[in-house]
């Protein structure tokens, strides 16, 4: 007989299962109650003669209030419980092992920071907080790992993230869970959770082309980004050293955190959020860079955050850092 | 039993023969039958697609149809069932027939508009049928951007046009009902003397009128994106695909209440007649309908918990989704309480009502699962959701529709159907339904995603159970077609009140005359006043 | 078909399902208000899109709006407001049994509506020539805002296009009203069609009152 639950292989899975179990109990209870009452009344008060009528009972306010308030209280308990589990899912820890994901019709491409690439298979270490930062090249997909109880739509044009901490080594299904065309049901794969030692072995084996950040550095030069974004503040664009993770003020007065999404948007639609004090002269690279190249550039800019901020002659664009929390995608 | 039942000499069915008298009729009762024919057609087309899907899903690999074909099957199944069956069925068939009679009027406020609504529905249906034969559409009935606007190569535009046009049928029908209920109640028929079916119909009409225009503009935008490359939902020019989802679900969530509220209205009538007593807590049931309609507009974001909306939006939509469950629960309790000390009938319509209450309870409670954020992240986009909404749409709405169809069949046709066959069919449907959809809850939690043509082999057992159930369910749906049609010719003649029920529709002949009442009644009694009325009927 | 009224004579315009003209008028008016509310929801979807994208791309929207032909929009606004005046006067003429004025004001309303459409056609033609129609041929002067400007123009054409479609339908309705008036079917006892058509016309006017500033006037602060 097939199991009723998938394996619980992440720290959040048990919490989800507990709430689910409670809800099942609630459903069974009320279903049996209502079904039981219906059957009982149907038998007990079965119409015995063709002309008999029922007792005229219009109702009672107390009863109505009771069976309004009690369900209300029960639903509020469920709401709070569900929200609490959801908060844990929605707020990744500060320190995570980040892996980039690009979904496209009909495959998943995984990019490890050090350059390892995987297609439809994702190796992760057990017991470590892993954050997946994902985007799509074409239509909306959805990254779903039932054993971890995590899921997120992967939307073109933005980064989304989900995080998990795997608790058991093994191989687990990975599905695309947002209909995306012909081979939607073929856009599946596996998450391979390994012991830390094995994971290290796996990481160092196999061909790599260098880390994402180093590939990004090369691209930065190839695309001539460095002509405007110079470390000495003489360029026409903001200095990128030490910028990632900071909060900057835009021309409109709005403040934004320089995170992966902001960097990506600035490359593809530079005029959308201009830093205060700068002109909208940056050309767009839409159509000139792939999603993977964007990841490399993002990682490169990220890698610059450890370098010290340079004294600028221009009116400063950035305010003091608003906290060092690892910036998330949307 | 000695019966001197005769067919009334003049009634709406023999008031004019010939195609023109039907296709150009202004009589709400004939228009209801026109709708009955068309929604039944779409139901069986949509149902045929479901059968093919379940056949394919009996094996883990895609071996019956290609993946593209499968994608078209589930899309067209959804489009046909949602837009051409579930949304119109009860309002346009039962509502059209009953609303004027139940309030003591001769017809709806705008009979010509009513006929136009049917034609609009048919034209919309023709566009969709064209899309079907021209190759089908594969976007899912939810046609999310950017797949539907940029990637799909199928008949998206004809389908979008079909849905756009048919939407006006819903809007105009809803408008007609609202004006009729406000302005054409018979003398003495106050709001709180109306049958609860009218309260549900009124609430449904409010949603129809307010919500449907939004899907109209949404499909128009999808069509414009495809045709003119506008870019509203295209990230390459700065558009936001998630905005499509907001627009889409702003209608499509209230749409599910358009589908279930009328069924709830039917159930109120069936329970009252089946127990020969007033519905317990009448004002609460009436207000619950309105509450569902209002709250139903505030929860659309619960379809987007993993789509990229903020944590705060998710919280608000989650809490509101729990709130919208409460009025439905109140109705279930009130219906159950009505049975207490009732004179409980075991006739077919009542069996459908009891089945509805049980299945709707399960379906509604599983709604709590998906409203709970932490669980929804896991079960959304899986078969759990598919099971949840089929419990409500099929276990709820369709059973309400069939129950109502059986209950008012004598009034509509002047004939009684074969009770044993009807009971048997109801049983077959109940069993088939549960076997089809209960395993899907388990499948969903195990992680099987929706809209999958092939799946990992460990999901097969549950899929086979579901497919077996579907074949039983299919048989169950065919049976009423047979015996109801048979009864038109060979069924026993029905008296004006075969159930011994209370309601204005039972004071007129079966079938009713074209003008419904020889004289406009003056209402001096409360709804479901069994104490003052004789209860002898033809059937126990 | 028999209508159960027996031998009682009734107004020729009274439909059989109503008891009297008063009930019929109330029903028709309520029906039109309900329909107009659906129209609010219909246009509302596009206003929502506009609000969201404008808040996302304010500079681009201002730049794109700067390209609109403001004198044409302003003229059209005046034309439509005047047409609502003539429409209201037409209703009044119907109420006061002045057939000549009724016909005159209906014609005036239709003429103004036609002027509106003519000016709109001129605008569209100009915008096509400047390659502001979204799609492959789209071109916008300021490179930096080109993408988002396309969204602005998509909204512009969609919203004004649907509005113009409603105007055309309105002209059709007015044609029918004109015909009914010339045939003497409108009297002080029964002028419901005029009143209800007037409601529709005013609504189409009000939609434009919202469209005009949102589409034409948000870029006025820019130079050049």
| B365 → closest Cβ in A30, A84, A182 | A30
pLDDT digits (tens, 9 = 90+) for B168-189: 999 999 999 999 999 999 999 9
In this structure, how many other beta carbons lie within 10 angstroms of the beta carbon of residue A21? 11
The whole-angstrom separation of Cα A292 and Cα A119 is 13
Enclosing domain of residue C51: 39-222
Residue C100 to chain B, least CA–CA distance (Å): 30
pLDDT at B532: 82
A247, two tokens:
């909060």
Residue B11 lies in a domain: no
Length of chain A: 330
| B446 → closest Cβ in A6, A83, A186 | A6
Q: Which of residues 290-329 of A touch B (CB under 8 A)?
A: none
Put simply, the answer to whether C147 touches A269 (Cβ < 8 Å) is yes
Assess whether pLDDT exceeds 60 at residue B285.
yes
**Between residues C20 and A208, the one the model is more confident about:** C20
CA quadruple A29, A33, A39, A40: dihedral, nearest 10: 130
- Per-residue confidence at A312, pLDDT binned at 50, 70, 90? very low
Residue B14 lies in a domain: no
The whole-angstrom separation of Cα A66 and Cα A136 is 49
Enclosing domain of residue B237: 22-539
Assess whether pLDDT exceeds 50 at residue B270.
yes
Is A61 in CB contact (< 8 Å) with chain B? no
Neighboring chain C residues of B206 at a CB cutoff of 8 Å: none
- Per-residue confidence at B2, pLDDT binned at 50, 70, 90? very low
pLDDT at B241: 95
Length of chain B: 540
Chains linked to A by 3 or more Cβ pairs within 8 Å = B, C
Helices (H), B4-27: 19-23
In this structure, how many other beta carbons lie within 10 angstroms of the beta carbon of residue C104? 16
Cβ neighbours for B482, distance < 8 A, ≥ 6 positions apart: none
Residue B114 CA, distance from chain mean position: 19
Assess whether pLDDT exceeds 80 at residue C219.
yes
Residue C15 lies in a domain: no
Put simply, the answer to whether C52 touches B228 (Cβ < 8 Å) is no
The pLDDT > 70 percentage for chain B reads 98
- Which residue is closest to A27 within chain B, CA to CA? B365
Is A62 in CB contact (< 8 Å) with chain B? no
Helix (H), strand (E) counts: chain A: 6, 12
Task: Give me the total of CB pairs closer than 8 Å, taking one residue from chain A and one from chain B.
Answer: 302
Average pLDDT, rounded, for chain C: 91
CATH of the domain at C86: 1.20.120.80
Residue C121 lies in a domain: yes
Put simply, the answer to whether C43 touches B184 (Cβ < 8 Å) is no
Put simply, the answer to whether B229 touches C49 (Cβ < 8 Å) is no
What DSSP element (H or E) covers A247? strand A247-249
Whether the CB-CB separation of A165 and A129 falls below 8 Å is answered with yes
Instruction: List residues of chain C with CB under 8 Å from any CB of chain A.
Output: 56-60, 143-145, 147-148
The pLDDT > 90 percentage for chain B reads 91
**Which residue pairs, CB below 8 angstroms and at least 24 apart, start in A42-49?**
A42/B339, A42/B344, A42/B346, A42/B354, A45/B275, A45/B339, A45/B340, A45/B341, A45/B342, A45/B343, A45/B344, A46/B344, A46/B346, A47/B276, A47/B343, A47/B344, A47/B345, A47/B346, A47/B540, A48/B343, A49/B540
The whole-angstrom separation of Cα B135 and Cα B137 is 7
Q: How many structural domains does chain C have?
A: 1
- Per-residue confidence at A165, pLDDT binned at 50, 70, 90? very high
pLDDT digits (tens, 9 = 90+) for B359-391: 999 999 999 999 999 999 999 999 999 999 999
Is C55 in CB contact (< 8 Å) with chain B? no
- Summarize the confidence of residues A185-214 as an average pLDDT: 88
The whole-angstrom separation of Cα B151 and Cα A42 is 54
- Look up residue B344 and give its DSSP letter: B
B469, two tokens:
């159930």
pLDDT at A327: 40
* Most confident of the ranges A320-324, B86-90, C58-62: B86-90
Nearest CA to A40 out of B395, C55, B358 is that of B358
The whole-angstrom separation of Cα B9 and Cα B509 is 10
The whole-angstrom separation of Cα A17 and Cα A5 is 8
**Between residues B422 and C136, the one the model is more confident about:** B422
Residue B455 CA, distance from chain mean position: 31
Phi, psi of B122 (to 5 degrees): -65, -45
Put simply, the answer to whether C58 touches A271 (Cβ < 8 Å) is no
pLDDT digits (tens, 9 = 90+) for A16-42: 999 999 999 999 999 999 999 999 999
Strand pairing class (A117-119; A107-112): antiparallel
| Strand segments (E) across A51-194 | 97-104, 107-112, 117-119, 121-125, 129-136, 141-145, 150-154, 160-165, 170-176, 189-194
Assess whether pLDDT exceeds 50 at residue B280.
yes
Lowest mean pLDDT among A196-205, B294-303, C61-70, C153-162: A196-205
Whether the CB-CB separation of B360 and B331 falls below 8 Å is answered with no
Residue B156 lies in a domain: yes
**Residue in A261, A271, A274, A286 to test binding to C, most C beta-carbons within 10 Å:** A271
pLDDT digits (tens, 9 = 90+) for B206-252: 999 999 999 999 999 999 999 888 889 988 888 999 999 999 999 99
- Per-residue confidence at A59, pLDDT binned at 50, 70, 90? confident
pLDDT at C40: 96
Task: Give me the total of CB pairs closer than 8 Å, taking one residue from chain B and one from chain C.
Answer: 132
- Summarize the confidence of residues B424-433 as an average pLDDT: 97
CA quadruple B514, B520, B524, B525: dihedral, nearest 10: 0
Strand pairing class (A121-125; A189-194): parallel
Put simply, the answer to whether C34 touches B209 (Cβ < 8 Å) is yes
Burial environment of residue B432 by CB neighbours within 10 A (0 to 12, 13 to 18, 19 or more): buried
The whole-angstrom separation of Cα C149 and Cα C140 is 7
Nearest CA to B450 out of B371, B394, B368, B390 is that of B390
Nearest CA to B462 out of B500, B489, B480, B435 is that of B435
Nearest CA to A108 out of A153, A52, A161, A174 is that of A174
**Between residues B531 and B220, the one the model is more confident about:** B220
Helix (H, G, I), strand (E, B) or coil at B104: coil
Put simply, the answer to whether A83 touches B345 (Cβ < 8 Å) is no
Sign of the dihedral through C-alpha A303, A305, A311, A315: positive
- Per-residue confidence at C224, pLDDT binned at 50, 70, 90? low
Residue B358 lies in a domain: yes
- Which residue is closest to B249 within chain C, CA to CA? C45
What structural domains does chain A harbor? 11-39+59-90 (no CATH), 97-204 (2.60.40.420), 212-314 (1.10.760.10)
Cβ neighbours for B125, distance < 8 A, ≥ 6 positions apart: B38, B42, B84, B162, B166
Whether the CB-CB separation of A265 and A273 falls below 8 Å is answered with yes
CA quadruple B495, B497, B499, B504: dihedral, nearest 10: 160
B306, two tokens:
């993993």
Lowest mean pLDDT among A299-308, B115-124, B416-425, C3-12: C3-12
CATH of the domain at B225: 1.20.210.10
- Whether a cis peptide bond, with omega within 30° of 0, leads into A172 is no
The whole-angstrom separation of Cα A113 and Cα A133 is 11
Helix (H, G, I), strand (E, B) or coil at B375: helix
Residue B274 lies in a domain: yes
The whole-angstrom separation of Cα B479 and Cα A188 is 41
Whether the CB-CB separation of C208 and C93 falls below 8 Å is answered with no
Q: Does the structure's ipTM exceed the value 0.90?
A: yes
Nearest CA to B84 out of B156, B27, B169 is that of B169
* DSSP states along B328-339: HHHHHHHHHHHH
């Amino acid at each position: 007989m097939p199991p009723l639950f998938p394996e619980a292989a992440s720290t959040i899975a048990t919490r989800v299962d507990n709430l689910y179990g409670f809800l099942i109990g609630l459903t069974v209870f009320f279903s049996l109650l209502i079904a039981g009452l219906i059957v009982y009344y149907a038998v007990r008060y079965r119409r015995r003669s063709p002309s008999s009528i029922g007792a005229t009972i219009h109702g009672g306010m107390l009863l109505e209030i009771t069976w309004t308030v009690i369900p209300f209280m029960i639903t509020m308990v469920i709401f709070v419980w569900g929200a609490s589990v959801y908060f844990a899912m929605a707020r990744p820890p500060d320190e995570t092992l980040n892996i980039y994901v690009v979904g496209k019709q009909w495959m998943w491409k995984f990019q490890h920071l050090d350059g390892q690439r995987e297609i439809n298979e994702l190796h992760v270490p057990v017991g470590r907080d892993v954050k997946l930062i994902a985007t799509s090249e074409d239509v909306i997909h959805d990254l779903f790992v039932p054993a971890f109880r995590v899921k997120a739509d992967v939307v073109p044009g933005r980064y989304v993230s989900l995080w998990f901490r795997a608790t058991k080594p093994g191989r687990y299904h990975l599905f695309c869970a947002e209909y995306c065309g012909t081979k939607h049901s073929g856009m599946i794969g596996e998450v391979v959770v390994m012991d830390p030692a094995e994971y290290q072995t796996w990481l160092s084996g196999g061909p790599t082309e260098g880390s994402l950040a180093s590939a990004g550095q090369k691209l930065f030069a190839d695309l001539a980004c460095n002509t405007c974004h110079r470390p000495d503040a003489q360029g026409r664009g903001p200095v990128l050293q030490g910028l990632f993770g900071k909060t900057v003020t835009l021309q409109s007065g709005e403040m934004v955190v320089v995170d992966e999404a902001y960097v990506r948007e600035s490359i593809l639609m530079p005029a959308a959020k201009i830093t205060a004090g700068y002109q909208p002269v940056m050309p767009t690279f839409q159509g000139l860079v792939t999603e993977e190249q964007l990841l490399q550039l993002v990682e490169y800019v990220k890698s610059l955050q450890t370098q010290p901020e340079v004294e600028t002659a221009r009116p400063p664009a950035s305010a003091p850092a608003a906290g060092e929390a690892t910036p998330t995608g949307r | 039993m000695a019966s001197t039942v005769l067919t009334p000499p003049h009634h709406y069915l023999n008031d004019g023969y010939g195609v023109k008298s039907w296709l150009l009729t202004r009589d709400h009762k004939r228009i209801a039958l026109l709708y009955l024919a068309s929604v039944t057609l779409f139901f069986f087309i949509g149902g045929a697609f479901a059968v093919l899907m379940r056949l394919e899903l009996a094996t883990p690999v895609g071996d019956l149809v290609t993946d593209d074909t499968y994608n078209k099957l589930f899309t067209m199944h959804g489009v046909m069932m949602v837009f051409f069956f579930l949304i119109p069925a009860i309002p346009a068939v039962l509502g059209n027939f009953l609303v004027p009679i139940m309030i003591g009027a001769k017809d709806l406020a705008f009979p010509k508009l009513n006929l136009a609504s049917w034609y609009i529905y048919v034209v919309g249906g023709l566009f969709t049928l064209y899309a079907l034969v021209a190759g089908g559409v594969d976007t899912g009935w939810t046609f999310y951007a950017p797949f539907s606007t940029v990637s799909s190569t199928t008949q998206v535009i004809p389908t979008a046009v079909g849905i756009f046009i048919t939407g006006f049928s819903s809007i105009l029908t809803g408008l007609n009902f609202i004006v009729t209920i406000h302005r054409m109640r018979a003398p003495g028929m106050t709001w709180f003397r109306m049958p609860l079916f009218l309260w549900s119909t009124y609430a449904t009409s409010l949603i129809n009128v307010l919500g449907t225009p939004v899907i109209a503009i949404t499909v128009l935008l999808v069509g414009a994106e495809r045709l003119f490359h506008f870019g509203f939902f295209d990230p390459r020019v700065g558009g936001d695909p998630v905005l499509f989802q907001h627009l889409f679900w702003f209608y499509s969530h209230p749409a599910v209440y358009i589908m279930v509220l009328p069924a709830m209205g039917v159930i109120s009538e069936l329970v009252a007649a089946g127990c020969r007593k007033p519905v317990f807590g009448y004002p609460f049931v009436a207000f619950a309908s309105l509450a569902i309609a209002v709250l139903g507009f505030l929860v659309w974001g619960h379809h987007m918990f993993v789509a990229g909306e903020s944590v705060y939006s998710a919280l608000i939509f989650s809490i509101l989704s729990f709130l919208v469950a409460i009025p439905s629960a109140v109705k279930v309790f009130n219906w159950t309480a009505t049975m207490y000390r009732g004179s409980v009938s075991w006739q077919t319509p009542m069996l459908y009502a009891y089945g509805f209450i049980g299945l709707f309870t399960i379906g509604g409670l599983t709604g709590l699962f998906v409203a709970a954020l932490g669980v929804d992240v896991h079960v959304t986009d899986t078969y759990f959701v598919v099971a949840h909404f089929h419990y409500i749409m099929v276990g709820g709405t369709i059973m309400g529709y069939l129950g109502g169809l059986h209950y008012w069949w004598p009034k509509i046709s002047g004939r009684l159907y074969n009770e044993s066959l009807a009971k048997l069919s109801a049983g077959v449907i109940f069993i088939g339904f549960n076997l089809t959809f209960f395993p899907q809850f388990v499948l969903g939690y195990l992680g099987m995603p929706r809209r999958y043509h092939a799946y990992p082999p460990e999901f097969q057992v549950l899929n086979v159970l579901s497919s077996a159930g579907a074949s039983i369910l299919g048989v169950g749906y065919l049976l009423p077609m047979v015996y109801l049609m048979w009864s038109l010719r060979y069924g026993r003649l029905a008296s004006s009140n075969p159930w011994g029920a209370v309601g204005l529709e039972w004071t007129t002949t079966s079938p009713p005359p074209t003008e419904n009442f020889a004289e406009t009644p003056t209402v001096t009694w409360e709804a479901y006043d069994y104490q003052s009325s004789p209860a002898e009927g033809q059937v126990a | 078909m028999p209508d159960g009224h027996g031998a009682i004579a009734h107004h020729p315009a009274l439909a059989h399902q109503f008891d009297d003209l008063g009930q019929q008028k109330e029903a028709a008016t309520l029906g039109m208000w309900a329909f107009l509310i659906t129209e609010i929801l219909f246009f509302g979807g596009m206003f929502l899109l506009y609000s969201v994208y404008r808040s996302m791309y304010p500079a681009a929207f201002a730049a794109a709006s700067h390209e609109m032909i403001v004198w044409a929009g302003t003229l059209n606004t005046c034309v439509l407001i005047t047409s609502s005046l003539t429409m209201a006067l037409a209703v009044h003429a119907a109420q006061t049994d002045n057939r000549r004025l009724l016909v005159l004001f209906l014609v005036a309303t239709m003429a103004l509506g036609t002027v509106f459409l003519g000016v709109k056609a001129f605008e569209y033609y100009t915008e096509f020539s400047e390659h502001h129609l979204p799609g492959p041929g789209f071109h916008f002067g300021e490179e930096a805002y080109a993408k988002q400007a396309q969204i602005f123009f998509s909204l512009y054409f969609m919203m004004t296009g649907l509005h113009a479609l409603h105007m055309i339908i309105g002209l059709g309705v007015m044609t029918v009203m004109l015909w009914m008036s010339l045939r003497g079917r409108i009297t002080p006892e029964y002028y419901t069609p005029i009143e209800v058509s007037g409601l529709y016309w005013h609504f189409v006017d009000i939609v434009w009152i919202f469209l005009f500033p949102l589409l034409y006037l948000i870029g006025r602060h820019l130079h050049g």
